[in-house]
Amino acid sequence: MARNRLQRRLRELWRRDVRGHLPPIDVVVRAGPSAYEAPFQVLRTDLLGWLESLP
């Protein structure tokens, strides 16, 4: 159940904040154990940080 919740949260972040900034690509997200307990805003900050680090 926790894994499904995390997947839904990450998909929502991707759809809302990332998808429009990248060309169509395949991405694999490997979330560590701390991601299951992380607040939505922390996940968002980490994902946007990754996006900004791309060339």
Query: How far, in Å, CA of 30 to CA of 50, rounded?
Result: 13
Instruction: Give the contacts of 49 (CB within 8 A, at least 6 positions apart).
Output: none
Q: Which of 5, 6, 52 is nearest to 32 (CA)?
A: 6
Q: Into how many domains does the chain fold?
A: 1
pLDDT (tens digit per residue) in 2-30: 889 999 999 999 999 998 888 888 989 89
pLDDT at 9: 96
Evaluate if residue 54 carries a pLDDT over 90.
no
The residue type found at 3 is R
pLDDT given for residue 13 in this prediction: 95
* Residue-wise pLDDT tens digits, 34-52: 999 999 999 999 999 999 9
Q: Which range of residues forms the domain containing residue 39?
A: 2-53
Q: Is the pTM of this model over 0.95?
A: no
